């Protein structure tokens, strides 16, 4: 079966494209009657840099639609220890999924953002990206995900921009 994404791209690029397709198939709606708009399919984008410009309040590449999800390489990655002997045969890839939303402080949203973080982590815990990434022989499997900061205080105070990260770690055995 041919890979779903172009084979001439890097493995990390192919993983991010496959993740974007998976996330665009999910429904991101508010929970607990919180006044949060659903995430539109077009608001789930791939960007080169995960962080927001602290002076301008804009995502890398321009103003992003909110609420939305920015998929990008993380700013840093620390490889977990104790992976066993097979670890030398495998390559680790991490992807940051940043949930962004302009949300006045008095409107809440905590339960919705936490539910969206959980949905992202669970989706990739049970999704095999191997066929989407490799033409044959290689495989990509879920390592773990970690949920990080619910709100970046500087961005929230200055621009009422809520941010929540889910960093998803994958392990690949490449052909």
List pLDDT tens digits, range 13-57.
989 999 999 999 999 999 988 888 899 999 999 988 655 544 444
pLDDT digits (tens, 9 = 90+) for 97-109: 988 887 655 567 7
Q: Nearest-CA neighbor of 77 among 50, 113, 115?
A: 50
The more confidently predicted of residues 19 and 82 is 19
Cβ count within 10 A of residue 13: 15
C-alpha–C-alpha distance, residues 23 and 28, integer Å: 9
Regarding predicted confidence, which is higher, 143 or 59?
143
Q: Please say whether the beta carbons of 95 and 72 come within 8 A.
A: yes
Of residues 120 and 84, more confidence is placed in 120
Ordered domains of the chain (ranges, CATH): 11-76+88-173 (3.30.2000.30)
Residue that wins the pLDDT comparison between 15 and 84: 15
Other Cβ atoms closer than 10 A to 105: 11
Edge-first strand listing for the sheet containing 139-147: 44-46, 68-72, 91-102, 161-173, 139-147
Strand pairing category for 161-173 and 91-102: antiparallel
Q: How far apart are the first and last CA of the chain?
A: 15
Question: What count of other Cβ atoms lies within 10 Å of the Cβ of residue 41?
Answer: 12
Note the pLDDT tens digit of each residue in 125-152: 888 887 778 766 678 888 888 887 655 5
Q: In this predicted structure, what is the pLDDT of residue 20?
A: 94
Token duo for residue 90: 């495998």
Position 24 scores a pLDDT of 95
pTM: 0.80
């Amino acid at each position: 079966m041919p890979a779903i994404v172009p084979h001439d791209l890097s493995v990390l690029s192919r993983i991010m494209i496959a993740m974007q397709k998976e996330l665009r198939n999910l429904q991101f709606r508010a929970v607990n009657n919180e006044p949060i708009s659903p995430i539109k399919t077009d608001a789930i984008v791939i960007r080169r840099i995960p962080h927001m410009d602290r002076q301008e309040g804009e995502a890398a590449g321009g103003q992003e639609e909110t609420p939305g999800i920015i998929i990008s390489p993380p700013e840093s990655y620390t490889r977990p220890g104790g992976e066993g002997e097979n670890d030398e045969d495998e390559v680790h890839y991490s992807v940051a999924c940043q949930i962004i939303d302009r949300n006045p402080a008095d409107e809440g949203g905590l339960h919705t953002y936490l539910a969206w973080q959980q949905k992202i982590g669970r989706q990739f815990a049970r999704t095999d990206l191997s066929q989407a990434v490799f033409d044959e022989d290689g495989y990509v499997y879920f390592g773990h995900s970690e949920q990080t900061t619910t709100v970046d205080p500087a961005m929230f105070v200055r621009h009422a921009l809520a941010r929540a990260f889910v960093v998803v770690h994958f392990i690949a055995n490449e052909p």
